[in-house]
Amino acid sequence: KRKEKEKKENILPNPPFAKGGDEEEEGSEGEKVAEGAGGGMREECDQRSATRKRNLTQEDIDRMQVPPDGCPRNFSGLLENLRLFRVPPAEQYAIVLKSNYGEIGGDIWKGFSVIRGSGGKIKLPGHYLLSVLNK
């Protein structure tokens, strides 16, 4: 069985994360069923999204679109403020998602207000905004 696992791992173009590998080892006879049922697909999706987050560019952020769920948002204002404070694209992506695409009345806008009032004392505004959104 171990050789079969090694062959399967070598066939995959991207090896699974360590977390996914531990889950496979814990399983018993139902491993083949789990892979066929989409267990492997989930790992591949996780890998693609993780790779995408690492290689984000400003153009990727600019192409993002607001979901049409009816919430009042100021997405363009959010992106403008993030560029003004020179937040890197990877942090911009996380901030956009955590702020619900710049939902009006959210904590993100209070965070921008604090950054403006800090007089330049907040050296990493992207990190600060993420900490505000994670509270």
For the stretch 74-124, pLDDT in tens is 999 999 999 999 999 999 999 999 999 999 999 999 999 999 999 989 999
Token pair, residue 13, equals: 């173009």
Share of the chain above pLDDT 90, in %: 46
Do residues 76 and 115 share a domain? yes
Do residues 70 and 23 share a domain? no
**Structural domain for 45, as ranges:** 2-54
Reported residue count of the chain is 135
- Of the candidates 16, 35, 54, which is a domain's last residue? 54
**Helix orientation angle between 89-98 and 125-134, rounded to the nearest 10 degrees:** 20
pTM: 0.59
Question: Residue 28: how many CA atoms within 13 Å on its side-chain side?
Answer: 0
State the total domains in the chain.
2
Residue that wins the pLDDT comparison between 100 and 26: 100
